[in-house]
Structure 1
């Protein structure tokens, strides 16, 4: 690609990206780009507090990072939000999204209380004609429908779908037990298959942990980033910005960064090397890097093992038969023979379009600049071959011994919570234990042989299955923190489904799901409620935040956790007793905090009151450490307690073998199903291997729809402040632009700023072209943000709804929605 052969001047880069705070641009690596060191953020200066001001500790809700915030309220008015200086993720700082909380709180288009629909017709152009009702009527309506279905033995036809849940108070203690107590496999279907399940499954297939990784970035010397926009939309974004200033500025040696994506985003621009890759081919790049590591003898022998004779028998194109003594890995020599021996950089160049010499340099750097981390997200696993891509990338961490090592990656420990106020197992009636729902599959067919047997959730499959009556039709569906009618691939399928069922929406905002709803039970915004939030994977050691209300709810709304508790109290049978014992969200929090009495936090938190005062409990350090191939456990003074192989298997490498498995026993456990459903080669199906992605559509351009820095998990769409700053790198104002290469614009007869028509097999959308050399000639990049037909006065009818033209195709193994696999055609509108 021409872009990989050019240098970029500081002036031109700043014009394109708007990155005016950059210290300068520098070439780093052949054909790659780098921006100068970003200065480290200094200590935050909090606002002066006058006598009428109250500062509440809370948690930001603009992304999954869960940063601690200080909310300033004067005379009952929230007027400022700063980072909590005592919170390990925030450290007194905040990202550009942090201040949006006040806009959300005072959004004039928020729902003001519970309502019911009076217009039986549903559709985009139908006014729901909502009528205000009391909370008692609203809650009774839900409970009556649930009880009626249960009386008929049809409790499985009630579903509760949720998105970015937070912790025990709204999911773990309230939502999840309802599935068991009430009796429905469809309570608690999450949106993870439309978010990040590809990465979770790739880890489970190889090291046995069905989770996201925690990362020790500060001590890493090399980051190899696949499709995770570290400086724009990768969690925890706020802390990423902080750590970047350290690892690229103050740290010696400076952490080297190679970033892989389909266009020049902020992360690639600031990296030492930018690799612009063909969509869906990240796995081929990872396999070639692994090939180089092995042929040049650069693997970590302490962790991986070695040939019995001490010689390197990995030769390109040649199988090995010499004995290889593996230590903490399984199947390396076999992986080489069935896959890696032929995956040379030259081969990968033909697949990825990245020059072979850059692949070779990257592999050598990654393997020799330890500790090193290979990390990935949706750019790599949003394809039909996504879990294979993820397995190949994660295998690089094993080859260089980064797992559980200083400067490497691990997994998150949970907080020392006390027990909940009640145990759901003590409140099960005979229906819950033996009812007809027990024989019913989930509506998304997760775990079913006709569906996606390895998937965690398959929310995007729900409307298709419902409309086909396979395995049955839903009757009543409830939504919490998710709006799949807007965010799901082939989103219009949800419109058809929701027109047929009774819909309950709990969003504070008038989104698309709400416009199809029969009942509105509006949640309070995050500045008005109690809530807990154990951390998303961060540094591995346990951390739990608490959200406290800065003000009483402005309107007649209530926390979702309390809404669910109140519905539960109205259910027939012993389920109502369980929810009566929960009482309310604040009571749950007080019980959880009891655990801190026996395990006080490093900041002195040892009670509910001190948790509220500090806003966070945490306990360092991470309990386990791998050092040169030996594992140790923390004994209170240091990592001094040697771990046996059985200890490692139980606590860290949770595979059947207790090792990192290049040959996955987890995939092999359902061998017949995998081979039947995927048609993969029996010799390599459970190894990381190259498989050409199945692109949907018939167009000539790949269609990729990433998130931007101001995207706030669907909560920024109706905020003018966020809209104005949504796409600074491409000059986006009031809307987002479609990034298109000049060669495409010339061939199609349009220019920068023109309206263009993007067509797929599902339909077409209109966008504004941003003609730029900073994206691939075969790819159009249009961020996922706008295109709402509801959600509020500023969100409605703004920009392009990208998901309306994205086919609903999923990775057969992980169930991950393949958002980035579509192909489209483009013409001047």
Structure 2
């Protein structure tokens, strides 16, 4: 039986109908059985949203086994009991008629963009047997390292299970996460100044001046419900400053908008720092002061380091001498195109707010070539102001007491796994020209007390495709879960070519995405917020939380959790073929209360959830947060809230080399020293090879780097701005009608269409009118979209919201799924494949892509 693309949705719908025989009717508002009128009673059941990395605790209202409404968990201190606009789309995602309902297999051996896979329905048994057979072929041929696992959105559960165990126990080094195409580069700012490589929290309830820089807290970049809740009072109480070349939702509320020239964030930050120091706005309590009490910061003046006594910081005078003394507002105005007077005024506003001024930095700053230094520069403004862990300031993540799973000890790793698990990773991390030193360095002490130090190497997700193309035989069997790199990664066409050459690929997802079109087996995954049992942890509003994800209504289709049920079932199949190590590891898990060990997938799923959350409900821990008496109570409440984050908690004990806030980063210096020694070269050579300008001492301080740009301004005169939608749920909401209908919630966008926003002055010169079909061309690709004339973008730029351009995923996301025709254009096809190489993060912001605009 062969099924063409046009019939795929009909067939899966029919298969799903068979799978749901006997389930309750879908009309949540229909009268219950035996009644003639009225609405059935319902209940609120807690779970956790995963529409962004806020992972907000939520509740679903369920009637007759049908979800009809969603809200924030009323007990949550992180989101104040609210969810943002994207949260409401979970209902339509759960009941999306185009979801994968049963396992499917490919019958067309040809692979390529637009090639019909001719999927046919199969059983879970057949699908798992096929995957296990393919994996065992690798073991038989001494090629376990040619197995690859890739994940997209995940819960912490997968860190030790699907992501952390399958490849490792099987014998492959190639287990990869999506994180480096997300927002990793912004972590380099707090990481190499404060020693915190994570996402920050903000005391918005007490902030007097909030600077949103390269982000839009009302739309994305975490904590959206809390930001929405707090912004009204913040605007009444203080000042909002927005630095963004595009008028975002947050910008529309701002008292000051700085429409910066894309990529020139470092110049603007340098000038603000210059003003804060020369006009005496630095925090004496946090930073320190000159010995004589007189401000010696003068433009162009080289200072004696001994003249200043620092308190909680390190290297201020070195930083001044190396990168700040000449960074005047007049200099920055020429680069950033922000007027000199406005730069000075903004710096003074920030300075007057002092330690209650929070600089909220986002990926728009950092996700560009050389983005590490822009990230460090902007985050360092918090250091000057002393707004680190102060009232109204910036905070490290609050934590919740989770529990790790049992360690994968040597008894689960045979000689094959130990040998081939040491093979070189495909993503190129740690190469001289791709340091990817996210996280700094490791220090390990052996049994004899000898300390070994080495640089950490983070994932370089988008470079996996390049590794596969350079070595076509490197991957023979691939399993991927909840991801769609063929759509969500820049230079997207590389992923089409890379995945087309993989001999066997199994994709575990909710919808048949662009990546799924290259799969040999497609498996129906649970929609995590409403169908999966897992535990998540996160923070916002100065509280950490541990929250549950659980099935809130009986699934309609043959879906399974990719992180627990799928891995258990796969382990059983591998055991039946003589490889029991993976199964033995999972079977070693033990319920923390009953001491029972799992015997099937359902038991394994629940035991895993109970293990990871046990500290908040077992009654044995002395916790300062919520009091929860049992697993049943935790499931009912759905959340544990930690105590409020303490002010100045880490002062004097930052996780840097000096234990201080480092304006001169000894932590970066040590990490790069270890890295260069590993490659038997110099730090300067590493920086040059990786595409940075800095040499010598400048490498170790936040400093200005000239923006790297693809395409000459003569041939590609416009700078492309990629931004995110308020409704883009990790790229998975475009097949819902609410997403398409309410796209107008995104400033400057329209519903049911895809537009590129052009300043009217630029459009007039090009002879382009509102609604015209246009072609955007970069040095690597072209896309077709429509023109939207809008004053909310800086002249010389063109802004486009990410999310449209699907040629698969379903009948709503694509213009014509059957013919693989996209609805609009995918930004990632236009943007070239490039990186901030110190972090390994994908470049997608910072004005690095030049484009030309043509009327079609």
TM-score w.r.t. the length of structure 1 is 0.87
Counterparts of 2:221 and 2:75 in 1: how far apart (Å)? 23
**Larger deviation: 355-364 or 473-482?**
473-482
Residues 683, 84 of structure 1: CA spacing in aligned structure 2 closer, same or farther, 3 A cutoff? closer
Residues 245, 150 of structure 1: CA spacing in aligned structure 2 closer, same or farther, 3 A cutoff? farther
Match for residue 684 of structure 1? 698
Residues 282, 724 of structure 1: CA spacing in aligned structure 2 closer, same or farther, 3 A cutoff? same
**Larger deviation: 50-59 or 341-350?**
50-59
The answer as to whether partners of 2:172 and 2:421 remain within 8 angstroms in 1 is yes
Counterparts of 2:666 and 2:398 in 1: how far apart (Å)? 25
Match for residue 485 of structure 2? 484
Counterparts in 2 of 1:96-245, with a 5 A limit? 96-168=85-157, 170-187=158-175, 189-245=176-232
The answer as to whether partners of 1:412 and 1:539 remain within 8 angstroms in 2 is no
The answer as to whether partners of 1:111 and 1:522 remain within 8 angstroms in 2 is yes
SS in 2 for 1:506: strand
Kindly indicate whether residue 354 of structure 2 is the aligned counterpart of residue 354 of structure 1.
no
Match for residue 374 of structure 1? 359
Counterparts in 2 of 1:303-452, with a 5 A limit? 303-321=286-304, 323-370=307-354, 371-418=356-403, 420=405, 422-425=406-409, 427-431=411-415, 434-438=418-422, 440-452=423-435
Counterparts of 2:719 and 2:142 in 1: how far apart (Å)? 47
Counterparts of 2:66 and 2:404 in 1: how far apart (Å)? 36
- 1:381 is displaced (CA, Å) by 1.0
- 1:736 is displaced (CA, Å) by 2.8
Counterparts of 2:197 and 2:104 in 1: how far apart (Å)? 40
Residues 495, 731 of structure 1: CA spacing in aligned structure 2 closer, same or farther, 3 A cutoff? closer
Counterparts of 2:296 and 2:572 in 1: how far apart (Å)? 67
Counterparts of 2:469 and 2:490 in 1: how far apart (Å)? 16
- 1:532 is displaced (CA, Å) by 3.3
Residues 807, 135 of structure 1: CA spacing in aligned structure 2 closer, same or farther, 3 A cutoff? same
- 1:243 is displaced (CA, Å) by 1.3
- Residues 89-115 of structure 1: CA distance to partner in whole angstroms, max 9, x if unpaired? 333322222221111111111111112
The answer as to whether partners of 1:207 and 1:654 remain within 8 angstroms in 2 is yes
- 1:419 is displaced (CA, Å) by 5.2
Counterparts of 1:283 and 1:598 in 2: how far apart (Å)? 49
Match for residue 810 of structure 1? 835
Counterparts of 1:173 and 1:127 in 2: how far apart (Å)? 33
Counterparts of 1:151 and 1:327 in 2: how far apart (Å)? 61
Residue among 708, 713, 716 paired with 1:694: 708
- 1:828 is displaced (CA, Å) by 1.1
The answer as to whether partners of 2:288 and 2:309 remain within 8 angstroms in 1 is yes
Counterparts in 2 of 1:517-528, with a 5 A limit? 517-528=519-530
Kindly indicate whether residue 620 of structure 2 is the aligned counterpart of residue 598 of structure 1.
yes
Counterparts in 2 of 1:374-773, with a 5 A limit? 374-418=359-403, 420=405, 422-425=406-409, 427-431=411-415, 434-438=418-422, 440-455=423-438, 456-469=458-471, 473-501=474-502, 502-561=504-563, 562-571=565-574, 572-582=579-589, 583=598, 584-596=604-616, 597-599=619-621, 602-622=625-645, 624-626=646-648, 645=652, 648=653, 653-669=654-670, 670-671=672-673, 672-673=682-683, 674-677=686-689, 678-698=692-712, 699-728=716-745, 729-773=747-791
- 1:621 is displaced (CA, Å) by 2.3
Q: Structure 2, unaligned stretches of length 5 or more?
A: 1-37, 439-457, 590-597, 599-603, 674-681, 815-821
Counterparts of 2:270 and 2:132 in 1: how far apart (Å)? 53
- Residues 468-519 of structure 1: CA distance to partner in whole angstroms, max 9, x if unpaired? 119x621122222221100111101111111110221111101101111111
Match for residue 81 of structure 1? 70
SS in 1 for 2:271: helix
The answer as to whether partners of 1:213 and 1:412 remain within 8 angstroms in 2 is yes
Residues 679, 232 of structure 1: CA spacing in aligned structure 2 closer, same or farther, 3 A cutoff? closer
Counterparts of 1:433 and 1:314 in 2: how far apart (Å)? 59
Counterparts of 2:242 and 2:792 in 1: how far apart (Å)? 14
- 1:466 is displaced (CA, Å) by 1.1
Counterparts of 1:67 and 1:721 in 2: how far apart (Å)? 20
**Larger deviation: 289-298 or 140-149?**
140-149
SS in 2 for 1:198: helix
SS in 2 for 1:566: helix
Residues 805, 418 of structure 1: CA spacing in aligned structure 2 closer, same or farther, 3 A cutoff? closer
The answer as to whether partners of 1:193 and 1:457 remain within 8 angstroms in 2 is yes
SS in 1 for 2:303: coil
- 1:432 is displaced (CA, Å) by 6.2
The answer as to whether partners of 1:233 and 1:708 remain within 8 angstroms in 2 is yes
Match for residue 288 of structure 1? 271
SS in 2 for 1:761: coil
Counterparts of 1:800 and 1:174 in 2: how far apart (Å)? 33
TM-score w.r.t. the length of structure 2 is 0.85
Residues 412, 591 of structure 1: CA spacing in aligned structure 2 closer, same or farther, 3 A cutoff? same
- Residues 663-717 of structure 1: CA distance to partner in whole angstroms, max 9, x if unpaired? 1223223242433423522130111000111111230000011012111111211
SS in 2 for 1:654: coil
Counterparts of 1:267 and 1:681 in 2: how far apart (Å)? 37
SS in 1 for 2:546: strand
Counterparts of 1:329 and 1:273 in 2: how far apart (Å)? 30
The answer as to whether partners of 1:531 and 1:547 remain within 8 angstroms in 2 is yes
The answer as to whether partners of 1:441 and 1:448 remain within 8 angstroms in 2 is no
Residues 50, 617 of structure 1: CA spacing in aligned structure 2 closer, same or farther, 3 A cutoff? farther
Counterparts of 1:262 and 1:613 in 2: how far apart (Å)? 45
- 1:418 is displaced (CA, Å) by 4.1
Aligned length: 750
Counterparts of 2:194 and 2:206 in 1: how far apart (Å)? 22
Counterparts of 1:570 and 1:808 in 2: how far apart (Å)? 38
Counterparts of 2:81 and 2:179 in 1: how far apart (Å)? 30
Residues 684, 521 of structure 1: CA spacing in aligned structure 2 closer, same or farther, 3 A cutoff? same
Match for residue 26 of structure 1? none
SS in 2 for 1:180: helix
- 1:436 is displaced (CA, Å) by 2.8
- 1:546 is displaced (CA, Å) by 0.1
- 1:447 is displaced (CA, Å) by 2.2
The answer as to whether partners of 1:589 and 1:608 remain within 8 angstroms in 2 is no
- Residues 558-599 of structure 1: CA distance to partner in whole angstroms, max 9, x if unpaired? 111211232234441433201223432211112233212234
The answer as to whether partners of 1:675 and 1:682 remain within 8 angstroms in 2 is no
Residues 357, 679 of structure 1: CA spacing in aligned structure 2 closer, same or farther, 3 A cutoff? closer
C-alpha RMSD of matched pairs (Å) = 2.0
Residues 720, 615 of structure 1: CA spacing in aligned structure 2 closer, same or farther, 3 A cutoff? same
The answer as to whether partners of 2:178 and 2:461 remain within 8 angstroms in 1 is yes
Match for residue 26 of structure 2? none
- 1:450 is displaced (CA, Å) by 4.9
The answer as to whether partners of 1:226 and 1:260 remain within 8 angstroms in 2 is yes
Residues 658, 808 of structure 1: CA spacing in aligned structure 2 closer, same or farther, 3 A cutoff? same
The answer as to whether partners of 2:399 and 2:642 remain within 8 angstroms in 1 is no
The answer as to whether partners of 1:569 and 1:577 remain within 8 angstroms in 2 is no
- 1:553 is displaced (CA, Å) by 1.6
Counterparts of 1:601 and 1:107 in 2: how far apart (Å)? 41
Match for residue 13 of structure 1? none
SS in 2 for 1:339: helix
- Residues 625-644 of structure 1: CA distance to partner in whole angstroms, max 9, x if unpaired? 32xxxx68xxxxxxxxxx8x
Q: Structure 1, unaligned stretches of length 5 or more?
A: 1-48, 633-642
Counterparts of 1:314 and 1:81 in 2: how far apart (Å)? 54
SS in 1 for 2:588: helix
